[in-house]
């Protein structure tokens, strides 16, 4: 499932996972729910640590929505609790639609373990909708959601998975990483940075520590940024500090394209130290997103054109 990223919420996701662990698993009676801005955290984000959640963004006036929604509701009922359909009226909840950058409806997303995964727009044929749901369930299983069913409900697959779990030896957690993660959960980003740097001082090629260090540095920066910076940045396009802060907020808000495109545009219209700062921030994002993200390849090509 390409495109899943939520760098923003290392600590928030930990809290959500803890709440989900204490909450009852969804039953076959509550697999289709209406979600509002007030219930989004618990009904969608927290629940997504138990089972995948599909978001159906719709409106009463939308005719294609009236074709797609009944299909999704029926498939959710068939799923019998293996996934949850969260219906969001975009007219009644415009801030959710804005945060998700919804361009048209119906639009479907998936949420797994607090991570937003792009889905599709429009009323697709049922066969294609089923394929998407199967992919989401597969991703949920790979993410370790205990209540996520295997695609097609295959007993053989479940038995094989159980056998793998029973025969695979337990690998003890690295106490160095545990200590760093504990610092993140406590909100002590400076201590987490110090602990990841300690790992890298001994193992410079440790990619897991390097990636985690980049995440924590981003979290530390974002913690101090006022959300109003997005509006201020739009009004002051030549203010390098505002533009970098706005890009950070967009990235952690899963508006990856906006963050990358904003920095590329900044690089094209700046020079000297300002251009270097924007380029370094963009390269940092490339590392965080990873080489397999298709957006990275496209942005790298655009960066090359902008620089040369």
Q: Does residue 182 share a domain with residue 129? A: no
Q: Structure pTM?
A: 0.48
Domain annotation covers residue 158: no
Domain annotation covers residue 60: yes
Q: Does residue 242 share a domain with residue 105? A: no
Q: Greater confidence, 252 or 72? A: 72
Q: Whose structure tokens read 């930990």? A: 14
pLDDT tens per residue, range 259-276: 999 999 999 999 999 999
Q: Does residue 138 share a domain with residue 243? A: no
Q: Greater confidence, 99 or 264? A: 264
Q: Does residue 100 share a domain with residue 34? A: yes
pLDDT for position 150: 42
Q: Does residue 265 share a domain with residue 197? A: yes
Residue 87, pLDDT > 90, answer: yes
- Cβ within 8 Å of residue 307, ≥6 positions away: 267, 279
Domain annotation covers residue 157: no
* Rounded CA separation 262/255 (Å): 11
Q: Which domain holds residue 120?
A: 7-152
Q: Does residue 104 share a domain with residue 15? A: yes
- Closest listed residue to residue 108, CA positions, set 134, 129, 80: 129
Average pLDDT value over all residues in the chain: 82
pLDDT band at residue 49 using 50, 70 and 90 as cut-offs? confident
Q: Does residue 146 share a domain with residue 183? A: no
State the catalytic residues: 62, 65
89: domain CATH number is 3.40.30.10
Among 83, 117, 152, the domain boundary falls at 152
Residue 180, pLDDT > 50, answer: yes
Q: Does residue 112 share a domain with residue 65? A: yes
pLDDT tens per residue, range 187-242: 899 999 999 999 988 888 888 888 889 989 998 998 888 888 889 999 999 899 99
What's the total number of domains in the chain? 2
Q: Does residue 213 share a domain with residue 142? A: no
Q: Does residue 192 share a domain with residue 146? A: no
pLDDT tens per residue, range 183-201: 888 889 999 999 999 998 8
Domain annotation covers residue 267: yes
Domain annotation covers residue 186: yes
Rounded to an integer, the average pLDDT of 120-141 is 90
Domain annotation covers residue 167: no
Q: Does residue 195 share a domain with residue 302? A: yes
Q: Does residue 146 share a domain with residue 196? A: no
Domain annotation covers residue 290: yes
Residue 13, pLDDT > 80, answer: no
- Cβ within 8 Å of residue 306, ≥6 positions away: 264, 267, 268
301: domain CATH number is 1.25.40
């Amino acid at each position: 499932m390409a495109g899943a990223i939520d760098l923003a919420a290392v600590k928030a996701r930990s809290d959500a996972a803890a709440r989900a662990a204490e909450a009852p698993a969804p039953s076959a009676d509550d697999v289709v729910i209406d979600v509002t801005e007030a219930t989004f955290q618990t009904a969608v984000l927290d629940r997504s640590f138990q089972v995948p959640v599909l978001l159906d963004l719709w409106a009463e006036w939308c005719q294609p929505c009236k074709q797609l929604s009944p299909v999704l509701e029926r498939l959710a009922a068939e799923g019998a609790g293996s996934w949850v359909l969260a219906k969001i009226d975009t007219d009644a909840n415009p801030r959710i639609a804005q945060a998700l950058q919804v361009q048209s409806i119906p639009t479907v997303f998936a949420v797994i373990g607090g991570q937003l995964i792009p889905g599709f727009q429009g009323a697709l044929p049922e066969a294609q909708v089923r394929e998407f749901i199967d992919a989401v369930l597969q991703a949920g299983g790979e993410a370790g959601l205990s209540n996520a069913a295997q695609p097609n409900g295959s007993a053989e697959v479940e038995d094989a998975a159980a056998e793998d779990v029973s025969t695979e030896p337990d690998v003890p957690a690295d106490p160095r990483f545990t200590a760093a993660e504990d610092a993140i959960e406590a909100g002590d980003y400076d201590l987490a940075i110090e602990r990841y740097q300690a790992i890298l001082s001994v193992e410079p090629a440790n990619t897991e520590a390097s990636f985690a260090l980049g995440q924590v540095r981003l979290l530390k920066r974002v913690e101090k940024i006022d959300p109003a910076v997005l509006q201020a940045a739009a009004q002051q396009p030549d203010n390098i500090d505002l533009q970098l802060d706005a890009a950070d907020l967009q990235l952690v808000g899963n508006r990856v394209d906006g963050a990358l495109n904003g920095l590329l545009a900044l690089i094209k219209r700046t020079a000297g130290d300002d251009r270097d700062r924007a380029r370094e921030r963009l390269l940092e994002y490339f590392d965080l997103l990873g080489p397999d993200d298709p957006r990275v390849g496209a942005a790298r090509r655009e960066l090359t054109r902008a620089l040369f």
